[in-house]
Amino acid sequence: MSNSTRSSREEITEHWDWLEHNVMKTLSVFDSNEDITSFVQGKIRGLIAEEGKGSFVKEDDPEKFREGLMKFEKCFGLPEQEKLVTYYSCSYWKGRVPCQGWLYLSTNFLSFYSFLLGAEIKLTISWDEISKLEKTSNVILTESIHVCSRGEDHYFSMFLHISETFLLMEQLANYAVRRLFDKETFENDLVLHDPLQITKRGLESRAHSEQFSAFFRLPKEETLKEVHECFLWVPFSHYNTHGKMCISENYICFASQDGSLCSVIIPLREVTGVDKTDPANRGVSISTKGKTAFRFTEVRDFEQLVAKLRMKCNATSSPQHIINTEVAASSASDSPKDFDAGPSKMGQRDNSKTVSTEALMTVYHPQDAENLDSKMLKEKMKEQSWNILFVERGHGVSMFRTKKTRDLVVRGIPEALRGELWLLFSGAVNDMASNPGYYTELVEKSLGTCTLATDEIERDLRRSLPEHPAFQSDTGISALRRVLTAYAYRNPQIGYCQAMNILTSVLLLYAKEEEAFWLLVAVCERMLPDYFNRRIIGALVDQAVFEELIRVHLPQLTDHMMDMTFFSSVSLSWFLTLFISVLPIESAVNVVDCFFYDGIKAILQLGLAVLEYNMEKLLTCKDDAEAVTVLNRFFDSVTNKDSPLPPAVQQGSNLSDTKSDHPKVDITDLIREANERYDDIRYEDVESMRCRNRLYVIQTLEATTKQNVLRVVSQDVKFSPSDLEELYELFKKEHFLSCYWIVNSPVLQHHDASLPYLDQYRIDCQQFRVLCHLLSPWSHCANRDSLALWTFRLLDESSDCLINFKQFACVLDTMYNGSFTDKLKLLFKLHIPPAFTEVESLSPSKGGDLSKEELIHFSQLSVSSVGDSLESDSLKSSPEKVGKGKVDIQAYLKQWQDELLKKEENIKDLPRMNQSQFIQFSKTLYNLFHGDPEEELLYRAIAVVTSLLLKMEEVGRRLQSPTSPVKSPVAVVEVPAEIPRKAQEESSSEQTEGSRAQSLRGNHEWSFAFEQILASLLNEPAFVRFFEKPHDIKVKIESAKNLQLKARTRM
């Protein structure tokens, strides 16, 4: 019997219901009553702590947060820079048994700790390893969070606030992915550049602001400040609609939540007054320049809200802002003289002559008001319907947007209103109003620039709607060139991507040049994020969303198609060009209408409708090629029977009637059917699927990179495929660990997804040293830092202080799988230029250890003589970047060909080793042998070999010049202090034999060739046994996986 104490019966009932719903169903998995009691008690204790914690952040309750932070640091031993964001009580499912514990969310890791029934569970997953993050439910788990990392599934359930927890996890995973994998979009995001500044409150605020600006198509800079539940009076329907008023720095927005699909966007620049009305109903009235008054009621704290809004409006009504608004309004007006208004510089006057102030459609297809055929009459009727709508619901940015608005969009926007409404629905009108004169200035700066982007633009200009007369003349081509070049100048991260030319061509047909530019900005940076970068990640994400929707809505098609990637490959152009590349132009513009109103949801709905329309034929297809043919014939049959465009321009009307096997399909009917059949696809669901699939897409791209790298490297090494894959993961992980805790880490620049696969991930000397300590069979050596440094310098052929995975794997392969000669040759090369450099630590107390600064300094030192020539050769062979972030692919192909033709390195080509280098070489050998079972035998062998080599060198010099004095090499050899006494005695006796030569000392240097050293060492069996002794890389790999993070913690 249990007792519950609370302030009210309702609260007690609510909590018992929660326990019954979330806990009772789970108890059946336990075998004994003791386990059940222990689990329930642990769960309730966790919930009490969670309730007491509330949704605190560090600023709210530093004492409780400090307590949680101490537990986090104690349990997981992560570096102190790792910032804990928040933590939650929950259950982790180990098989079919839940383990009650605490889930800790930090900037780089998801961690879970549980100690229950004497069993400890500790789990640490880095956000960048997560490929799936979703909310799920089944019979046992009523509602849980599913995390998939490196192929392993993890389930967490019984959260008190699961939606809040999931939102934070989603934000942290997205942050890590963007920071580490997708720097193209991250570099423009100043908010998240510093991982130490991330807070729970900040992440939640950011998530809500992103949802707000995306839903209302506002500039990304807008931050959601306040949300008020209220009612908005809808005058044309004579009723109050319930919804939320959302307020940012420059906008007041409203969206209904009662199914009426009513929304309003009120820019503060349009507001003329804010007043209190009907105090009994807590009313707020907002008046705008369009003489429309919006009346909100049941607004909490309405008096304070009125005061705040008045202050905001006064701030935005400053003289400067009024001037800007007037300029923005004038730049959007119909008069082509607006760009010449007022005094202007010569450059601006020249630009006003070049920048087109008319949509190309009005120039090439002017409407004849006197001779109206049936299609033009229908067009005029459409215009009349919109004019009635404008009278009822407002005209301009602050108009009421309702179901009636969408119905008219589905029917197709009239030609005369298309440009204006595209600008309005996309939100581009706000960008243009906020940046008067920006486009003209950009054109002036960008014209005449020469980059890879401008070269690609020039190449594609005449491929953009080549059948349309507007782009068969210099007028259209020049306008297209200016818009694309200006955008590439504005956003060099995107620059120019194929498909942008096709989209921009259509925009220029219906919008003025400046409007077309801002429409392109809205599409590339807001409506289709990450579509037009090098990896088209955004398009691939929406392809994954499309596949998910196909599984849900068209399961029979999914069952028939063996490979779902078919849908991605065939539909990629649908998404990149908004169906413009596959539909006749007169039909495609209707799709663009819907896209600007409903966003990507419209493209997804239409894609599903196309597949459903062709379902029967697709189910009979035997292969992908046949399915592609079916879809192409369908698109050819799509028409727009109401299009007022002349037959010469319409692509659909030019088709031969021989393709009568496919009946004509009207685009308006197809779009209407798509809206009706797939109306249950909501904006919020699409955005959620986008977030979920973004992780999957990026991890899939990373897996493709890994597979390609491993395929190339496996041909040059003897490691097993599994060992090579583990080495790649350690190599990549070391790159990430160097980025986790450093603000604006320069190491982030070492990852460039635009480069060939092998060079996408590279590490510097410091990272290489860490991996050498963890993986090298020679890591026990006293001068291991120097060895790591020299190895890195040897591998750094391009002299950019970075090496790729192939170079790393090949040198490890030599250490583990190379022959005696290979290993000795590697050691020899490490002690001659360009690898070798004199190393002297600034802190003698550290012995052979080097600080990070010393390591970086020595790795950047230029080499002399032979090294210089090698460096210059490598620089010549290194492909250079051309333009902005682009790579000369031809140079890479040539380098690859040269590598294939490169002969086996001849040992006779190796330079000779001089006196100081040989002394260091001997010291390295002594260090390597330390601790070996045959240590004493190896030391004795070194002494013998060294003495033999020195005698050979002395004899050789005497034969070459018998009369010249020779400096005895024997006298200068130093015997390290670590050598056992017996070996030292033998070495000294050998040296006395050559002491007679000391009288012949001179200033001549002596040196050894590699063949001499090799031949001498082969005579010593102990040497051969040592270097041919097998080492197990698997043991080192397992150890490295456990120690890699700890090594970073110690550093």
Whether 368 shows a pLDDT value over 80: the answer reads: no
Q: DSSP for 457-524, please give it.
A: HHHHGGGSSTTSGGGSSHHHHHHHHHHHHHHHHH-TTT---TTHHHHHHHHHHHS-HHHHHHHHHHII
Mark residue 491 as left, alpha or beta (left: phi above 0; alpha: psi -120 to 50; beta: remaining). beta
Closest CA to 268 of 304, 318, 302, 232: 318
Lowest mean pLDDT among 61-75, 378-392, 969-983, 1028-1042: 969-983
Q: DSSP for 320-374, please give it.
A: HHHHHHHHHHHHTSS-GGGGG-S---HHHHHHHHHS--S-HHHHHS---SSS--H
Q: How confident is the model at residue 961 (pLDDT cuts 50, 70, 90)?
A: low
Q: What integer is the mean pLDDT of 82-99?
A: 87
Report the alpha-carbon distance of residue 353 to residue 600 in Å, rounded. Answer: 36
Sign of CA dihedral 777, 779, 782, 784: positive
Report the alpha-carbon distance of residue 522 to residue 217 in Å, rounded. Answer: 8
Mark residue 278 as left, alpha or beta (left: phi above 0; alpha: psi -120 to 50; beta: remaining). left
Joined tokens for residue 401: 């947007």
Q: What integer is the mean pLDDT of 169-184?
A: 82
> Which uninterrupted H or E stretch holds 292?
none
Q: Which residues of 71-106 are buried (b: 16+ CB within 10 A; e: fewer)?
A: ebeebbebbeebbbbbbbbbbbbeeebbbbbbbbbb
Whether 324 shows a pLDDT value over 50: the answer reads: no
Strongest mean pLDDT among 25-34, 120-129, 192-201 = 120-129
> Which uninterrupted H or E stretch holds 1032?
none
Residue with tokens 């040592």: 1026
Report the alpha-carbon distance of residue 827 to residue 823 in Å, rounded. Answer: 6
Q: How confident is the model at residue 875 (pLDDT cuts 50, 70, 90)?
A: very low
Lowest mean pLDDT among 16-20, 117-121, 190-194, 529-533: 190-194
Report the alpha-carbon distance of residue 772 to residue 766 in Å, rounded. Answer: 10
Q: What integer is the mean pLDDT of 308-314?
A: 88
Sorted by sequence, the CB contacts under 8 Å of residue 759 that are 6+ apart come out as 752, 804
Joined tokens for residue 349: 């006057």
Report the alpha-carbon distance of residue 830 to residue 786 in Å, rounded. Answer: 10
Integer CA distances (angstroms), 316 to 105, 216, 220, 434, 606, in order = 40, 20, 19, 12, 41
Closest CA to 443 of 363, 380, 353: 353
Q: How many CA atoms lie within 13 A of 898 on its CB side?
A: 12
Q: DSSP for 179-232, please give it.
A: HHT-HHHHTT-GGGS-GGG--HHHHHHHHHHHHHHHHTT--TT----EEEEEEE
Which runs of E-coded beta strand occur in 676-809? Answer: 762-763, 803-804
Single-letter amino acid, residue 635: F
Q: How confident is the model at residue 357 (pLDDT cuts 50, 70, 90)?
A: confident
- Contact between 589 and 506 under an 8 Å Cβ cutoff? The reply is yes
Collapsed DSSP state (helix, strand, coil) of residue 282: coil
Whether 290 shows a pLDDT value over 60: the answer reads: yes
Q: How confident is the model at residue 530 (pLDDT cuts 50, 70, 90)?
A: confident
Strongest mean pLDDT among 341-350, 478-487, 990-999 = 478-487
Report the alpha-carbon distance of residue 245 to residue 74 in Å, rounded. Answer: 45
| pTM (2 d.p.) | 0.79
- Contact between 198 and 176 under an 8 Å Cβ cutoff? The reply is no
Q: Vertex 966, ends 964 and 970: CA angle to 5°?
A: 165
What pLDDT, on a 0 to 100 scale, did the predictor assign at position 865? 39
Collapsed DSSP state (helix, strand, coil) of residue 654: helix
**H-assigned helices in 757-819:** 765-775, 784-795, 805-817
Report the alpha-carbon distance of residue 903 to residue 924 in Å, rounded. Answer: 29
Whether 617 shows a pLDDT value over 70: the answer reads: yes
Whether 260 shows a pLDDT value over 80: the answer reads: no
Sorted by sequence, the CB contacts under 8 Å of residue 973 that are 6+ apart come out as 919, 922, 946, 950, 991
Q: What integer is the mean pLDDT of 46-53?
A: 53
Whether 296 shows a pLDDT value over 90: the answer reads: yes
What pLDDT, on a 0 to 100 scale, did the predictor assign at position 472? 87
Whether 72 shows a pLDDT value over 80: the answer reads: yes
Report the alpha-carbon distance of residue 15 to residue 9 in Å, rounded. Answer: 10
Q: Which residues of 857-874 are buried (b: 16+ CB within 10 A; e: fewer)?
A: ebbeeebeeebeeebeee
Please give the backbone phi and psi of residue 562, each rounded to the nearest 5 degrees, phi first. Answer: -70, -35
What pLDDT, on a 0 to 100 scale, did the predictor assign at position 659? 47
Whether 864 shows a pLDDT value over 70: the answer reads: no
- Digit-coded pLDDT (tens) for 428-448: 999 999 999 999 999 999 988
What pLDDT, on a 0 to 100 scale, did the predictor assign at position 951? 83
- Digit-coded pLDDT (tens) for 691-709: 999 999 999 999 999 999 9
What pLDDT, on a 0 to 100 scale, did the predictor assign at position 85? 92
Sign of CA dihedral 983, 986, 989, 991: negative
Q: How many CA atoms lie within 13 A of 294 on its CB side?
A: 30
- Residue 797 or residue 982, greater confidence: 797
Q: For residue 135, how many other CB atoms are within 10 A of its CB?
A: 16
Whether 127 shows a pLDDT value over 90: the answer reads: yes
Joined tokens for residue 651: 């692509």
**Beta pairing class for 293-297 and 283-288:** antiparallel
Report the alpha-carbon distance of residue 1016 to residue 1011 in Å, rounded. Answer: 8
Report the alpha-carbon distance of residue 246 to residue 254 in Å, rounded. Answer: 6
What pLDDT, on a 0 to 100 scale, did the predictor assign at position 1036? 94
Joined tokens for residue 47: 């919930």
**H-assigned helices in 554-682:** 555-560, 565-577, 585-598, 600-613, 615-620, 624-637, 667-677
* Distance in Å from the first CA to the final CA of the chain: 54
Q: How confident is the model at residue 137 (pLDDT cuts 50, 70, 90)?
A: confident
Report the alpha-carbon distance of residue 705 to residue 735 in Å, rounded. Answer: 15
- Residue 985 or residue 770, greater confidence: 770
Collapsed DSSP state (helix, strand, coil) of residue 134: strand
What pLDDT, on a 0 to 100 scale, did the predictor assign at position 323? 34
- Contact between 472 and 466 under an 8 Å Cβ cutoff? The reply is yes
Give the length of the chain: 1051
Report the alpha-carbon distance of residue 820 to residue 1023 in Å, rounded. Answer: 9
Strongest mean pLDDT among 322-326, 804-808, 1040-1044 = 804-808
Lowest mean pLDDT among 437-441, 529-533, 798-802, 991-995: 991-995
> Which uninterrupted H or E stretch holds 98?
strand 97-106
Q: How confident is the model at residue 256 (pLDDT cuts 50, 70, 90)?
A: very high
Q: How confident is the model at residue 847 (pLDDT cuts 50, 70, 90)?
A: low
- Residue 470 or residue 743, greater confidence: 470
What pLDDT, on a 0 to 100 scale, did the predictor assign at position 754? 76
- Residue 743 or residue 671, greater confidence: 671
- Contact between 414 and 406 under an 8 Å Cβ cutoff? The reply is no
Mark residue 655 as left, alpha or beta (left: phi above 0; alpha: psi -120 to 50; beta: remaining). beta
Closest CA to 264 of 433, 408, 394, 389: 394
Mark residue 130 as left, alpha or beta (left: phi above 0; alpha: psi -120 to 50; beta: remaining). beta
Q: What integer is the mean pLDDT of 800-814?
A: 94
Joined tokens for residue 971: 């006298």
What pLDDT, on a 0 to 100 scale, did the predictor assign at position 958? 72
What pLDDT, on a 0 to 100 scale, did the predictor assign at position 1046? 79
The radius of gyration computed from the CA coordinates of the chain, to the nearest angstrom, equals 36
What pLDDT, on a 0 to 100 scale, did the predictor assign at position 829? 94
Report the alpha-carbon distance of residue 181 to residue 752 in Å, rounded. Answer: 9
What pLDDT, on a 0 to 100 scale, did the predictor assign at position 981? 46
CA 674 distance to own-chain centroid: 32
- Digit-coded pLDDT (tens) for 903-938: 455 667 789 999 889 989 999 999 999 888 999 999
Report the chain's mean pLDDT, rounded to a whole number: 81
Sorted by sequence, the CB contacts under 8 Å of residue 276 that are 6+ apart come out as 283, 284, 285, 302, 303, 306
Whether 487 shows a pLDDT value over 50: the answer reads: yes
Q: Which residues of 478-517 are buried (b: 16+ CB within 10 A; e: fewer)?
A: ebbbbbbbbbbbbbebbbbbebbbbbbbbbbbbbbbbbbb
Lowest mean pLDDT among 117-121, 492-496, 860-864: 860-864
Lowest mean pLDDT among 361-375, 883-897, 919-933, 953-967: 883-897
